Each structure stands twice: as structure tokens, then as C-alpha cells.
A and B are shown apart, each in its own frame.
Chain A
Amino acid sequence: MMRALIAFAFAVLASLPAQAEIEIQEVSTPGGIDAWLVEEHSIPFVALELRFRGGTSLDAPGKRGATNLMAALLEEGAGERDSQEFAIAVESLAAEFSFRVQDDSLSVSAKVLTENRAEAMELLRQALVSPRFDGDAVERVRGQVLASIDTDKTDPDAIASQTFHALAFGNHPYGTSSDGTEESVSALTRDDIVAAHAAALARDRVYVSAVGDITSDELSDLLDTLLGELPAEGAPMPDRIDYTLGGGVTVVDFDTPQSVMIFAQRGMKRHDPDFFPAYIMAQILGGGGFSSRLMEEVREKRGLTYGVAAYIYPMDLSEMFMGMVSTVNARAAETVAVVQDEWKRLAEEGVSQEELDRAQTYLTGAYPLRFDGNGRIANILVGMQMDGLTPDYLRTRNDKINAVTVEDIRRVAAELVDPEQLHFVVVGKPEGLEATN
């Protein structure tokens, strides 16, 4: 049956749905907001996704953590309502708002019922346009952020990430935690928070998608009301920083049974003509699922870890090709060696035709399966806009995947993948591991 199954699998590949079956409408409002909409009227709610480019990297010098604290305060009182009154108003409508910040963006996700959409959107508008930043709310949320900073000090995953970013990016915003430090967060004033709000939430950097029970006319009106009062322009985007960290092993001594590791080298821009070969190459090396080279060598054959992954990670202002793994302290040196060997093998040999075929089949088949919920679709669509893609990418993306050849990947692997440049940060008490720091 084994062979029969595989044969069957190949036989039906041709009929895989090659396209996501969703219809994107481009909506341009009279107020100048562009949005993507997918109408889906079978469930009476809409998922609205807003993303403002910039994120925590917009923190002004000396004000690290201001954008993060500001974003956490958006739902802590707005317009006429203080924090508790605002929360109660949102809960009364059973609306769900979430505000998240990352290095490059501030995201707003909203799910609102059709029956009270106007009222819910009015609350969201107030949160975006006229947050209060009341003194007691600032102090309460500041306390939570300081606690989180404190917790990170004894969390091996956080230590690994912060150490790696500090080594790679130094004084650039990417080099420090977006939460800020105890000192910087303690020193933030209400004026700093107001300034961070004006810097990050502006119409010149917002990307919008909506999926659900709403028409294009309704969405157009809604967006002009929701975003019309935001300033036209925000703060200038921060400078780029090249990834130049050399190879090596940095050990952070921390008393815990399992060593947590992050490894990386320089990466590739999202719009590089070689992005797709690099993306598929990384999928074969350490992509999701159970069949990547790293999963096979590190987990399946040797039982060194529960999970290992590697991926191309293009950010707005720099690029990395990175991965992560964790293993019991006694086997840390062996794990590092296996990852290094795989890096070397990839640089020298590229990938096989069979590996490429499998990766292409998986990636093209899995793509349409992502589009199966209003919130999920809204999230993908706004990400596409941030990446500068057009709606027809939904139809062309799999062709780009399928166009990649073994030769493309061999060339990209030879140019990009550099075992000498691979740097490991290891947090724990790794045994037998030679630190280069």
C-alpha cells in the first residue's frame, strides 16, 4: 500500500486547487484610504485589520519602549470614557479589539458584529484618534511592562533573542527589546507617549483589509469615519541597518537544564529577484512540518530536540536567515555540529530535484488552505499590502514557486549560505561547546 499511496498522491496532484478561491475588491475611499475587501456574508460579523508601518522601531532616541507602552494604552480609555468605562462599552457590544506592536508595524485587529457595527467602530475610532493616556492607566500599564521586562531576565528564550539582536544590531532599534529597559520605561512621560502616538498612527502608513459581512460602500464610509481624523503624516521611517555579524558561538551562562539556541547569518530582501529560490531553499532546510533536513537530522535521527526550524526573515530595515533549536545541555555541542554540517552541505550541494519537487508540491498545495477564516484572510491580505504585492499575487504566487529550479537554488545557496558566517547564541549550561566570545 505504501507505493500505492504515493502513486495516488502524485496522480491527483494535478487537480490540487492552484488558486485561493477568494475575490478581492480594491476599495478607495473619498477620504483617500485604500483597502482590500473580501465579502463573506454567511456569518454576521466582519474582521477588520489595520496595520501601520513603523512599529516600535519608531521609538525616538532615549525613549525605547514608548511605542510599546503607547499601543498598550490605546484600549485604556478614549474620548469621554476612562479605562474601565471604555472596556465596559466594548464588552457591551461583544466587540473584540486587539492592538499589537512589532519591530516594523502596529497592528489593530477588530471583530465586530453586524448588528452593532457602527457603535463598535465609533469606539475603535476613539481608541485610535483620541486615546486619553490617563495618569493612573499609564502607571498601571507601565507596571505591567516593567514586570514583563523583569520576567524576560530569567526566561532563556527571551535571553537568547535579546542577546542575538544586541550582537547583530547594536544601537539600532532592532538591537534592543521593544519593551524598552527598566530605566527607559521608568523615565517615559505622558508627553513621550503622546509623541509616540503621533509618530506611529498616521494615514500615510496605514494598510487596511476587511473580510466578512460588509459591502464595499459600507466599508468605504466606515474607513473614512474611522481614520479620517488621524494625522496625514507620521514620523520618518528609521534607517536601514546591514546585518554584518560574523560567525561564532556566544554562550550565555544560565542555570537551566535545556540549552536554548538561536543561529543566523545574513538574509535576503523580500523583493530580491532570488527571494523565491531562497525561500524554498529555507523550506527544505528547516521549514514547517516534519520533513525538513534539520528535522530529519536533529530530531528524527538523533533525538536531539523537540523542534528545530530555519527560515528567511526579511524585515523592513534588515535581513536575516535564521533558525532556532533547544537541546539538553549535555548534547548542545553535538546539536551545534549537526546544524553547522547541514549549513555546509546546503552551501556546497544545494538541494536535490526530489527535495525541490516535494517542497513545491507542499508550498503550492498548502497556500490556498491558509484562506479559511475571516480573521485569517484579513491578516494575510494586509500582510500582502505591506509587502507591496497586488491582489493578483493570489493567482501568480504558485507560479513563482513552481518556476524555481534546482539550478536557481544551487546558485543562491552558493552565494548566500555561508557556514563561516553562521553565528550561534546559546543560553544554558551547554557542555563541550567552545564559545568564541
Chain B
Amino acid sequence: MDRRIAPALLLSFALALPALAEEVTSFTLENGMDVVVIEDHRAPVAVNMVWYRIGAADEPAGKSGIAHFLEHLMFKGTDTLEPGEFSATVELNGGSDNAFTSQDYTGYFQRVAADRLDLMMEMEADRMTGLVLTDEVVLPERDVILEERNQRIENSAGALFGEQRRAAQYLNHPYGIPIIGWKHEIETLSGKDALDFYSEYYAPNNAILIVAGDVTPADVRVMAEEHFGPIAANPDLPERVRPTEPPQLAERRLSYSDPRVGQPYVRRSYLAPQRKAGSQEEAAALIYLSELLGGSSASSLLGQTLEFDEKTALYTTAMYDGVSLDATTFEVLVMPVPGRSLAEAEADMDRVIETFLTEGVDEASFERLKMQLRASEIFRKDSLQGLARAYGEALTSGLTVEDVQAWPEILQQVTPEDVEAAAARLFDKRKAVTGYLQETDMVMAEEVTQ
């Protein structure tokens, strides 16, 4: 994109909102552990997070779900802590804790009174290297994650449909494998598998400490150096290289039928670029595109056309989140009104996308969106945990603190022409998967209407 004209545009649309960069400090310990401190002194609360640059997409073949299984097992004790004692100690200090796993990261956090931070770091440092696992704790926990899979995936037709679509989207990259793992592979995971993964990837030079709240960078540095400083870096940490996608040359179409489907819909994903360090402009344009096409029902092109004017859809949306280590997806969904087929809904979707490509960006909508994006920077400062999480996701997905801080300005510099150009590059059906979710089998679009 042409960035030279952007500052001029920005000036003319600048709003009276004060600049409110959050107070963020970052540094790196000698063993390679990155530390980010986000100050917010409104309440005597701190969020302590340890993020590992390791996720489901880094798993060995045949071991899907091991990153998530290990996340659960990290609460099962160390040389010095008994199973369950980590969380029990957090609770004894009035705090709460949990953890999460994605394709690109695994994160652990505690939310505590700010004067409990030192103890939280002591325990996180302890379990970075001292994990102890026995079958006595591993086997029941494997049943727990199978039940988690039952709850999240097997009991939901929409979630099963999502797994099938993602598997079709990625021809070679592991993003096609579900984070929680395929059921038949989860059933075979062992404590040894978890420990192998742990010893290879859990190390200070693969971790980021993020502390947000009523803290100072100086205090955090002292505590971090005391607790994490003595842990040796892993000199053999593998470079983070994953299988990459070949050129996607053929449109993929699939249909999933399940008697539990209440409302059928058509959902399409396009392979899309992610936010990259020093190069976030394309992703910024796609953020606008997703909102202009499928943001609010009353003001987006899909909503206005299909929900309001033509009244052929119950619900429409477009989804894009650019934070991802490797190529991500841009998704579009149309849920037709009763009596309208999915083939017709898909034709509606195609027609609206075509309209966008021909007619371009509506200037008034674009300016409104720009204002909302600027305001969202104010609202997001109200959530300590949200801010800390945003930094963690970005830093484990190939971005830097500077990229995170530059992002609001990059969003403000996007032009309508940038969005149109990004849309023209994105909407290529050879890189797309179109899926029908329905209650009973029906033939797909080409076979009936076209």
C-alpha cells in the first residue's frame, strides 16, 4: 500500500481523543526470557502470566492434543508442589488461576492481589522445569480432556463442522488439526509424550512473562530475576519451523449433516494473511473489510442487503482476526431464513461479495468504522486481563511490543483503496473452503442451481 498519502488523510479525520498509549515496559532476562510490564494503578490487582511460544501447531505428527494435555498436566505437581497444590495455593491467597492453549501458544495466568505477585512467580518458575507426572494423575486427566472434547466438540454439530472445514482449508500446515486434538489420538497420549514435549519446549528462552496491574517495572524485574533468572536456557530449543502451505489451486466444498442442527447455514473461509512483524498493513485493511462486509447487521453490506433489504437471511457475519503466527482465515457466514436453501444462501453471499468488489468502499461507513476503531483503544484499557492477553497473543504470534503499539496508528492509516485492494487479493475461491451445515443431506450448489 502507499503509505505516503496516509498521514495527510489521518490529519483530516483526526478526532479529539487524547493519545492514551498504555504504560508498557519490556526487557529480557539473561537467559532469554522476555518480560512485559503493563502498569495500571487503578486497583490493587495484578495479573501474572507466563506464555510459552509453543502451541498445538507445533506438535509432533500423531500426537495431536499433546500441547493442551500438557497444559492440564502442568497443575499436577512438581518436585516441590503436590498435584493440585498450585491452584490451591493461589486460592489460599484469594486469587484465581487458569490456563489456555491455542495453535500458537500456551499460557498460564493468576489473578491476585498485587502483593501476592512474588509467590505467583515463584510457583510459575518452579513448574517451568520441575514437573513430575505419574500415571495416577495422568490417566484420569486424559479422561478429563476427553470429556472436554465431548463437551466442546462432540456434543455440538457446529463445532464438528468447524473441524472438518479447517482440515480442508489447510493442505499441509498443522492449523488443519484441532487444538484439542483428534479424539483417536488423544486416547493414546501418555505421560511420557507430555514430558517429552515439556522438556523440549518449556524453557525461559521460549517464554514470555507478562505482568499487568498495580506494579512497577523495577519491582517486576527484581522478582523475575530472582525466580526465573536462575533457570538455564535450553540451548537445543528447536527453531520454530512448521510445514507451509503449497499453492492452493482448487476450490474445496463440503457438506456436514447432523440431526442436531437447528439452523442450517453456509460458511466460507478464505486463506488470509496474518499480521506480520513490521508489516501489518494488509491485516489492518482486512479488519476494515470484515467490518464493512459483515460487521453490524444494520450497517454492514451483508447485513443491509440480506437481512434488511432482501430479508433472505436471519443472520450474516464476516470474521477476521489477524493475530496468528502463520496464514490465517477470513470467514463469511450466511444463515438463510426458513425455506431458503443453502445453495440460494451461497449465491446471496457471492453476489454481495461481488457487489463489494465492483462498487468499492462506502466512504461514510469507512469513516464511522475508523472512529470506532479509535474508540476501542480507549475501551480496551478498562480490562487489565484483556490488555495482558492481547500482548501475550501478539508476542507468541511473531509480533513485537512495537508492533502492538503501532497497530492503532496503522489502523487509522488504512485507506478505502487499501481495503479494496486487499479484498481483490483475498476473494479467490481457489484458496477457499465453502461448507454447508444442515440437518439432512442435500446436494450442494453447483449441482442444483448453476
Residues of A that sit less than 8 Å from B by CB? 1-2, 5-6, 8-10, 12-13, 15-17, 21-22, 40, 42-45, 47, 83-84, 86-88, 91-94, 96, 111, 113, 115, 136, 139-140, 143-144, 146-147, 150-156, 255-258, 260, 288-291, 296, 299-307, 326-328, 358, 361-362, 364-369, 371-375
For A22, list chain B residues within 8 Å (CB): 43
Say yes or no for B311: interface residue by CB 8 A criterion.
Answer: yes
How far is A155 from B258 in the complex, measured between Cα atoms in Å?
A: 12
Residue B382 at the A interface, CB < 8 A? yes
Report yes or no: A44 in contact with B89, Cβ–Cβ below 8 A. Answer: no
Q: Is B147 a contact partner of A327 (Cβ separation < 8 A)? A: yes
- Partner-A contacts on B (CB < 8 A): 15-18, 20, 42-45, 75, 80-85, 87-89, 91-96, 111-113, 115-116, 119, 122-123, 126, 139-148, 150-151, 154-155, 157, 259-263, 296-299, 304, 307-308, 311, 314-315, 335, 337-338, 368-369, 371-372, 374-376, 378-379, 381-384
A40 to B381, CA, bound (A): 13
On whether the beta carbons of B260 and A289 are closer than 8 Å, the reply is: no
B94 and A365 within 8 A (CB) = yes
Partner of A303, one of B115, B143, B298, B376: B143
> When chains A and B are docked, how far (Å) is the Cα of A369 from the Cα of B94?
8
Determine whether the beta carbon of A326 is less than 8 Å from that of B262.
no
Q: Is the CB of A91 within 8 A of B122?
A: no
Rounded to whole angstroms, the CA-CA distance of A144 and B297 in the bound complex is 12
CB-CB under 8 A from A364, the residues of chain B are: 94
A152 and B85 alpha carbons, distance in the complex (Å): 40
Question: A residues within 8 A CB of B88?
Answer: 290-291, 358
Chain A proximity of B81: nearest CB distance (Å): 6
A207 to B96, CA, bound (A): 30
Complex Cα–Cα for A8 and B20 (A):
38
Query: Looking at the complex, which one of A1, A5, A372, A375 makes contact with B384 (CB distance below 8 Å)?
Result: A372
Chain A residues, Cβ within 8 Å of B45: 368-369, 372
Q: Are A154 and B140 in contact (CB under 8 A)?
A: no
Q: Is the CB of B296 within 8 A of A87?
A: yes
B24 → chain A closest CB, angstroms: 16
Q: Which residue in B115, B262, B299 is a CB contact (below 8 Å) of A147?
A: B262
Q: Which residues of A contact B374 (CB under 8 A)?
A: 94
Known: A255-B259, A365-B93. A111 touches B87 (CB 8 A): no
For A152, what are the chain B residues with a Cβ–Cβ distance below 8 Å? Answer: 262
Given contacts A16-B113, A140-B307, A289-B96, contact A257 B150 (CB under 8 A): yes
A88-B368, A306-B151 are contacts. A43–B262 as well, Cβ < 8 Å? no
Nearest CB in chain B: distance from A259 CB, A: 9
Q: Is A88 a contact partner of B94 (Cβ separation < 8 A)?
A: no
Q: Which of B95, B157, B298, B314 contacts A365 (CB 8 A)?
A: B95
**B123→A328 contact, CB < 8 A:** no
Minimum CB distance partner of A290 in chain B: B87
Given A1-B80, A5-B123, answer yes or no on A373-B382 (Cβ-Cβ < 8 Å): yes
